[in-house]
Amino acid sequence: MTRILVIDDDPDVTSLIAMGLDSHRPEFAVSECNDALTALSRIDGDRPDVVILDLAMPARDGFSILEELRHGENDVPVIVLTAKGLEQEKVRGLELGADDYVTKPFSMKELAARVDAVVRRSRSWARPTDQSVIVRGDLRIDPARREVTLAGKQISLTPTEFNLLHELARGSGRVLEHRTLLGRVWGPEYRDEVHYLKVYVGRLRNKIESDPQRPRYIQTIRGVGYRFLAPSD
């Protein structure tokens, strides 16, 4: 059973999404939250497997909910709903830690597929196949504990950030193409979504680089992909 919490201030919208998802996936258990002001307490109380969050709510927008959620180190997978044509909404949502987005109008088949994808990723993260500790310079990555430390200080990462950093560090010194990283971290259906990668590399640099504008660990290979190097390499 996959527990889903849909957050939107319009009861008609949440009811439509709940009924649509129920009809597509009997194994989905969908609950609704129509009060943006209590959304965070509902997430803490319900402990859903996935949150579907509308970004455009008048009482409190989804951006602030997402930002506070991630600052509180809650790594529940979040799919944000964005308006058609508003590219800046998609980018900002990803920058704040959303795992995926769906653009309105959307079909229930598409939304169900996105839920399946984030659930699949979150469950694969819980069972890493390679549990070898990686040490690169001052950076230490422990897949079994899902912990990252930099010069002995623990760094808080979302599951997507951790998985991307782990993939980069495992291939240390090699150029990893965009499509390769996207396929490994997000799944094969995301191999052309380069903007996901750019946003999350930026998030990682802000957390592990002393100067994100002049990165030492994660190097951009323009038009190709990224290469991870320890500062001493």
Q: Are residues 45 and 112 both part of a single domain?
A: yes
Of these ranges, 19-23, 126-130, 202-206, the one predicted with the greatest mean pLDDT is 202-206
199 in the same domain as 159: yes
Q: Give mean pLDDT, residues 134-151.
A: 92
- Domain containing 90: what range? 2-125
- The CATH code of the domain that includes 207 is 1.10.10.10
3 state DSSP class of 50: strand
The pLDDT value given to residue 111: 95
> What are 16's two structure tokens?
């439509």
Tell me what the pLDDT averaged over the chain comes to.
90
For 170-191, how does the pLDDT look when each residue is reduced to its tens digit (9 = 90+)?
999 999 999 999 999 998 889 9
The continuous run of DSSP H or E covering 199 comes out as helix 194-208
Q: Are strands 153-155 and 175-177 parallel, antiparallel or unpaired?
A: unpaired
Query: The whole model's pTM is what?
Result: 0.83
Rg (CA), the chain: 18
Q: Does residue 67 form part of some domain? A: yes
C-alpha to C-alpha distance for 210 and 112, rounded to whole angstroms: 40
The number of domains in the chain is: 2
Q: State whether residue 123 is helix, strand or coil.
A: helix
Helices (H), 25-158: 39-46, 62-71, 87-95, 108-125
| The last residue of a domain, from among 84, 100, 125 | 125
